[in-house]
Amino acid sequence: MNSNEKFLRMTTEPVEKLICTLAAPTIISMLVTSFYNMADTYFVGSLGKSAVGGVGIAYPLMNVLQAFGFFFGHGSGNYMSRELGKQNYDSAEKMSATGFFTAMIFGFFIMILGLIFCDELVYFLGATHTIAPYAKDYISIILIGAPYMTASFVLNNQLRYQGSAFYSMIGLATGAVTNLFLTPLFIFVFDLGVAGAALGTIISQLISFCLLLLGTRFSGNIRIKFKCFTPNRFYLREIVAGGTPSLCRQGLASVATTSLNVAANPFGDEVIAAMSIVSKVMMFANSAVIGFGQGFQPVCGFNYGAGNYKRVKKAYWFCVKSGFIFLVIASIICIINGEWALSQFAKGEAEVIAIGTKAFRFQCYTMPLNALIVLSNMLAQTIRKPFRASILAASRQGLIFIPAVIIGSHVAGLTGIMLAQPISDAISFILAIIIISDILRKMK
């Protein structure tokens, strides 16, 4: 499929069919991304609650890498989809290279700083003295892969915004399958413990990176060329405008997880381990809707760039309704099977399972609200409404959640920590309704 054929498809094919076609590989990609963290937690669960807590402590760092990857990936990808909708291919090519190489540079700096200050970092992220050695073993290895892990998120998003989510799915899925084999091999066969989980992850991520880079050479996609690297004021400004909501969302997710770990610290390793497991299982449950929304974004970008606002609205409401129905069904299943799901990660740790099951069910009650929150954020971000998109992105996992977990832990103790996310979801839902109503009303 060449560029003109792709343009016609994105602007004329029925949106329901188009979104479902594009969303299938993005949903798989999101589930696969969740698998990276869940696989580590599952296998590390056999090493005890402190080891699980060590992987949980590293989760904010993974969020930081993802935050910068999404910042450059969404920032460049949003611009590329609008330019492809206008059929400005040269400009899209320059943006592709600029987003990719800038992300690698940022990943390199994160690696250097993280390795220098690794001891201080694990305690800053909320580790107890018993968890800290496991966290350091894991983080020191993960940091080695920071440059290409950050760039992988850029490639994944750029391919997706070009309507080629299939290639991103292949890259991520291959890495995930590799991770499922390497992690238990390094942990149990080579007896590397938590370090083995990290080693399996960075090798798997390297394989994903190579396959994603290869995917840019097929199906009319824009190839990454260093000669097109154009880090001037215009392209960097566009990346900031399109990527800031993602940086706010993922960056604040890192701060939120750190705040959660710090708040849980006085209650012991059991609570840190339990909340770490709940966060990853909930991310897996929500990832299908996020993937569905990512199938919406290229349709939104192409049609907004082409001036087909009616198709943008139609696509938005289709995704919101479908996502809400899916999450209602998913939340019911999760409430019924919550204890079983938690027991798969906290093997034999009765207290961790009990705490995690209660927190998990609290979050399931408000999970369906995420359909409108996520899709509204993606619409605002794709059509270049950076301020409103940033507010929406920052609310659920930052602006509202962080005060909720801090205040809740002081007012209601452990129960307050468990209720922080549901409270944040409910308030973010109301905020999303206010912001998206204004955007849709003005889109004529």
- For 154-201, the DSSP string reads HHHHHHHHTT-HHHHHHHHHHHHHHHHHHHHIIIIIS--THHHHHHHH
Residue found by looking up tokens 């479902």 in the block: 20
pLDDT digits (tens, 9 = 90+) for 158-195: 998 887 878 888 888 888 888 888 989 999 889 998 99
Cα separation, 55 vs 190, in Å, equals 19
What is the model's pLDDT at position 1?
60
pLDDT tens, 249-307? 777 777 777 788 778 878 878 888 888 788 878 877 788 888 888 888 888 888 888 88
Helical spans, DSSP H, in 216-349: 233-264, 269-305, 309-343
pLDDT level of residue 49 (50, 70, 90 thresholds): confident
Report the chain's mean pLDDT, rounded to a whole number: 87
**DSSP code per residue over 377-443:** HHHHHHTT-HHHHHHHHHIIIIITHHHHHHHHHHHHHHHHHHHHHHHHHHHHHHHHHHHHHHHHHH-
Q: What is the DSSP string of 8-55?
A: HHHHHS-HHHHHHHHHHHHHHHHHHHHHHHHHHHHHHGGG-HHHHHHH
Encode pLDDT of 333-373 as tens digits: 989 988 888 888 877 678 888 888 999 999 999 999 999 99
Bin 413: left if φ > 0, else alpha if -120 < ψ < 50, else beta: left
- pLDDT for the residue numbered 218: 82
The residue among 381 and 95 whose pLDDT is bigger is: 95
Alpha carbon distance 254, 114 (integer Å): 15
Indicate yes or no: pTM above 0.85: no
| Helix ranges, 45-145 (H) | 49-85, 89-116, 118-124, 132-142
pLDDT at 366: 94
Which of these ranges, 37-46, 60-69, 103-112, 337-346, has the smallest mean pLDDT?
Answer: 37-46
d(CA 431, CA 222): 37
Q: Which of 144-153, 317-326, 365-374, 383-392 shows the lowest mean pLDDT across its residues?
A: 383-392
Check: CB of residue 255 under 8 Å from CB of residue 124. Answer: no
